[in-house]
Structure 1
Amino acid sequence: MRPEAAGTLGWDIGGAHVKACRVVNGELVDAVQWPCPLWEGLDRLDGVLAQARARWPHMQRARHAVTMTGEMADFFADRADGVRRIAERMALQPGIGLDFWAGEHGFVALADVAAQWEAIASANWLATAELAARRAGRGLLVDIGSTTTDLIPLRDGRPAALGRSDAQRLMSGELVYQGVVRTPLCALARHIDFQGRPHNVMNELFATTADVYRLLGELDAAHDQHPAADHGAKDAPATRRRLARMVGRDAAEAVDADWLDFARAWRAEQLNEIGRNLDRVIAAAALPRGAPLVAAGCGAFLAEKLAAARGRPCLFFASQVARLAPQALPGVARLAQVCAPALAVALLLERGAR
């Protein structure tokens, strides 16, 4: 019997999660996301990679395509140090080839990482945008993750971002540092209504966006991987309790319907902020009204709302760029949507993007 083809493993090494996808001959076979609080040390990455070896015992025969954002973790002295040390850690893994995504420079080998660190740093969005543009032609990639949102214009089959680095994209509005899991609620608004009355917001890490979308039933439990702000339970009573603290209250002061309305108010604040930046990016890129939004990330449900509010079509990244392998497990396509940059670098490497 011939051994199973190992294919290509795509890796997205973030500061809070590691995402990985396995692709064989252009077909998506597997996808997974592991929590990885990289700010606590590289041993967290080691633990994730041990889980990967257990999941994919054939990974020593695989090619590996790596992109990253984890170099921003404050564990590292600076971004160059983070890129180099993450690359060195990944190089310890078994495989027949290891390539690092460097954006416009394609893939580079480990020996070139130090010289190309600026091109490698936080370039995961560019891999996703490259494939989205090839498929959609024109539109806007909206990748809403646990921590950040990427808003990347696509034009003439290519990414058309004004910024390249995180700093440049923060200036252009193409990077919004908000997500649907880890963002503290006090970062969304200074004032908010509760029971029809305005309240100042407590600037404390009492609750995060995960509490909002968990209570609203919009956040998939599989993507709710980090501890709650108080390290407490994630059931509805505990979630309401954390939300109540944001305006100096206890959950018993209102009925469940009031807390649902409160969660909707926080969702509206986040949609307003992401939408403001989205409209700014669309205007700067002069995208026509019929150009779609291409949704990715665990917050893709918000991209659908943003598209509907603007009368634009909404496409889903994973279903646009990858064929699902017959042997893929149930739920893999949904996870690949969350792991879009990992899927993108795996497909780009297989297709010879050098």
Structure 2
Amino acid sequence: MTLTAGLDVGGAHLKIALVERGRTIDVRQFPCPLWQGLDKLDAALAAARPLLSRASRFAVTMTGELSDLFPDRETGVATLVSRLTKELVGEVQFWMGLRGFGDANAARQHHTDVGSTNFLATATLVARELRDALLIDFGSTTADIIPVVAGSPRPRGLSDAERQITGELVYTGLTRTAVMGVTTETLFRGQRAGLAREYLATMADVRRILGADLTDIDQHATADGQGKTLQESITRLARMLGRDARDGTESEWRKVAGQIREIQLRSLYDGAAQVLSAVDLPEASPVVAAGIGADDIAEIAQRLGREVIRFGALAGADPAVETWSTGCAPAVAVALLLDPQASS
């Protein structure tokens, strides 16, 4: 039996989904800080080798070409295509957005269609299952907001530059985003406090303070290189206010964290509202929540007055990997789109 592996090669993670007979049976995420060098991709692929060795067909999508390791996106795509073609043993097909799949030569020729179109793969799979929906994929770094109308993805933009204008790409993430990228001020003991515009704390710190368990999904170093305990997260957040952790109680720091998270969620809501304002999407159509931030997207769906469906359930993943199928939606999507048994 031929198994299909879907790879989403990002600038921070390598996500892999394994599909058998049209059903997702395994999904993993591996840290891959590509900005530090191609050896990080090699290490991630090596760690994933037991999973990859089970497949003989590979569907690849990527956003890693955006890494500042590369001088431009064309170079990034060409480099990653060459590296992956060399490392993967079997048939390798690259997702090229509206063009569908192509081999390595086609991927190099159409690099603008290959780079950062993973959102379109996820939306295409959603469109197979739902006639109308709003896909929101909230990952570690960004959020994609894509309408599906009358059984087809309907993004107004295809490039990052276009999508940042249309609201379909909101550059904020569940864990990796620096707090200074979310807001410049917060409230502390009844007063407005300006925040340091310095990389001192991340949204992972904010969510840990609020009680989130990020053990499996927060795979990168903290801003100060220290640990990920509650107290260490409070210490980093306090520095954003020019304070020490002991300058506030745990309850006060939770209030600060809650405000910052709320500001981030508003940016996602605003993006969704902008997208919805441009399309005629029936009010009864659901929000499809994808990404490691799917729980937060469920809140956004509630604010929009829409039902929420998690991508893993929509894609028919095995129950044991449904959560990670939601978290690694583009990898699952390209595997299912390439697997001939998934559409039969």
Bin of the TM-score, shorter chain as denominator length: over 0.9
Work out the CA distance in 2 between the residues paired with 1:163 and 1:222.
Answer: 32
Q: In the TM superposition, what are the counterparts of 1:265-344 in structure 2 within 5 Å?
A: 265-324=259-318, 330=320, 332-344=321-333
Alignment correspondent of 1:190: 184
Alignment correspondent of 1:43: 39
Between Structure 1 and Structure 2, how many residues are aligned?
343
Alignment correspondent of 1:28: 24
Work out the CA distance in 1 between the residues paired with 2:68 and 2:19.
Answer: 32
Q: 1:347 aligned to 2:331?
A: no
CA shift digits 1:140-197 (9 cap, x unpaired): 1000000000000110111100000111101111001000111010111122112221
1:349 to 1:55, Cα distance in 2 relative to 1, 3 A:
closer
- TM-score, normalised to structure 2, is 0.96
CA shift digits 1:105-148 (9 cap, x unpaired): 11000121221111101010000011112212112100000000
Q: Which moved further from structure 2: 282-291 or 235-244? A: 282-291
Work out the CA distance in 2 between the residues paired with 1:180 and 1:250.
Answer: 24
1:205 to 1:323, Cα distance in 2 relative to 1, 3 A:
closer
Unmatched runs of 5 consecutive residues or more in structure 1? none
CA shift digits 1:73-109 (9 cap, x unpaired): 0111210100010011101124320000001111000
Work out the CA distance in 1 between the residues paired with 2:62 and 2:88.
Answer: 19
Q: Is the 8 A contact 1:107 1:353 kept in 2?
A: no
Report the 3-state secondary structure (helix = DSSP H, G, I; strand = E; otherwise coil) of the residue aligned with 1:44: helix
Report the 3-state secondary structure (helix = DSSP H, G, I; strand = E; otherwise coil) of the residue aligned with 2:276: helix
Work out the CA distance in 1 between the residues paired with 2:29 and 2:2.
Answer: 19
Residue in structure 2 matching 1:105, options 80, 92, 99: 99
Report the 3-state secondary structure (helix = DSSP H, G, I; strand = E; otherwise coil) of the residue aligned with 1:47: helix
Which amino acid is 1:65 matched to?
A
Deviation of 1:298 (Å): 0.6
Alignment correspondent of 1:131: 125
Deviation of 1:201 (Å): 1.2
Q: In the TM superposition, what are the counterparts of 1:244-255 in structure 2 within 5 Å?
A: 244-255=238-249
Question: What's the % identity of the aligned pairs?
Answer: 40
CA shift digits 1:292-344 (9 cap, x unpaired): 110000111110111111221011011101241xxx8x4x2211111100000
Alignment correspondent of 1:148: 142
Work out the CA distance in 1 between the residues paired with 2:207 and 2:88.
Answer: 38
Computed over aligned residues only, the root mean square deviation of the Cα atoms, in angstroms, reads 1.6
1:323 to 1:223, Cα distance in 2 relative to 1, 3 A:
closer
Which amino acid is 2:79 matched to?
R
Residue in structure 1 matching 2:210, options 208, 216, 219: 216
Report the 3-state secondary structure (helix = DSSP H, G, I; strand = E; otherwise coil) of the residue aligned with 1:287: coil
Deviation of 1:229 (Å): 0.6
Q: In the TM superposition, what are the counterparts of 1:233-252 in structure 2 within 5 Å?
A: 233-252=227-246
Report the 3-state secondary structure (helix = DSSP H, G, I; strand = E; otherwise coil) of the residue aligned with 2:273: helix
Q: Which moved further from structure 2: 171-180 or 344-353? A: 344-353
Unmatched runs of 5 consecutive residues or more in structure 2? none
Q: Is the 8 A contact 1:271 1:306 kept in 2?
A: yes
Q: Which moved further from structure 2: 285-294 or 96-105? A: 285-294
Deviation of 1:6 (Å): 4.8
- TM-score, normalised to structure 1, is 0.94
Work out the CA distance in 1 between the residues paired with 2:96 and 2:14.
Answer: 18
Deviation of 1:353 (Å): 10
Which amino acid is 2:331 matched to?
A
